Amino acid sequence: MATLAALTDFNWILKSVRIAYLDCFSGISGDMTLGALIDAGVSQQSIFDAVQSLQLPHCELSTEEVYRGAFRATHAKIDTRPEHHHRHLSDILELIEAGELTASQKTLASSIFEHLAKAEAKVHGASMEDVHFHEVGAVDSIADIVGSAVGWDLLHVDQVISSHVPTGQGSVKIAHGTVSIPAPGTAELLIGVPLQDVAIQAELTTPTGAAILTSITDSFGPMPKMTIESIGYGAGSKELTEQPNVLRLFLGHDHSPPETDEVWLLETNLDDISGEWIGYCTERLQESGALDVFTTSIQMKKGRPAVQLSVICKLEHVELLEQIIFQETGSLGIRRWPSHRHKLDRRTHQVTTRFGSVEGKIGISSSSPPSFSPEYESCKKLARKHHVALREIYHAALNSFDPSNITP
């Protein structure tokens, strides 16, 4: 028998959607992403162990608490030595494959580098296999990307949303010379991404940041409806005079909305028909596909009492059900319109009482424990069998329902 305490203690979470929101008001880079992930609570040791498993030459990872403007943030530091050779995509994919990463982490890390290679190939008119990675092929960039891929995988988020992205203004020096911001590779990666105009003379969004962002983000826009669980602040390397150079990562959850579908509502007013005829019409409508049929007492012009007959049905049943209404009621007109409805997750369920088994339906809500509704016919059968009141069967069935036994 379910008790009030059982209902109170029942921790029911249905279809809870875990959301990550990236507030890129100062752009995004690899170290900002990595710092924000760690600051939000992702295991730093797990990220570092995964990066170290790549056996990158002379690569040391650490974090430090810094201030950007007046705000505290985590800065992910990757100390390396200068290199004199550049890597191809195949070289980096081999490093990732050889590392001690999960399959999903390898897939995400590889996908980010493939996005980079595709953008660079487009810019330089080369194939992805022939692209030489310069800045993004360096040890620190590899560590940033792989570490970020591991961190995102450990978040276990269902949806990633980002704000509009500022690129900054001015110019930046890359391996091919000085170019305007955004750099060609960055610009190519940001095709289709809504940009934000921020008048700061600096590169706010780097190729690494753009590649990570476009590989993980599902949509761009304002912060969604969500319950915030934690916020991570990832610091960029530069100190901006105009605003804090940080990336904010919001982690939270939202419950999926109820299932929705479209139904049609048919209505007609009846003031010259007997109750028996309406009852018979209702039976025919239910047998012919109506989802629900109900009547409402109304008062028409000149004070005449009447009944409003309402039918809820699917589009494919509208024509047949209207024919039945016209035939059985003599109505001269039917109002109809489509309607959207929200539905709880519903399932058939059976409970055991001292009178026997009772069939019913459970409704599952994201904000409360499951509810149980005994079926009339099942209760009626037991009431007649045991010669007890119908309400006694109903009460026995409700008291026998234990929501803690229901799995999502």
Phi-psi region of 170 (alpha: psi -120 to 50; beta: other; left: phi over 0): left
pLDDT at 55: 83
pTM: 0.61
Cβ neighbours, 10 Å, residue 210: 27
E strand or H helix that includes residue 385: helix 376-386
- Of the candidates 131, 152, 201, which has an alpha carbon nearest to the alpha carbon of residue 30? 152
Structure tokens at 330: 């003599």
For residue range 160-205, list pLDDT tens digits in order.
999 999 998 888 887 667 888 888 889 999 998 999 988 898 999 9
pLDDT at 68: 93
Position 124, amino acid:
H
pLDDT at 12: 39
Spatial distance between the Cα atoms of 25 and 248, rounded to a whole number of angstroms: 8
Q: Which ranges of 61-202 would DSSP assign to H, the alpha helix? A: 89-98, 103-124, 139-155, 184-189
**Which parts of the chain register pLDDT below 70?**
1-16, 83-85, 130-137, 175-176, 255-259, 366-367, 407-408
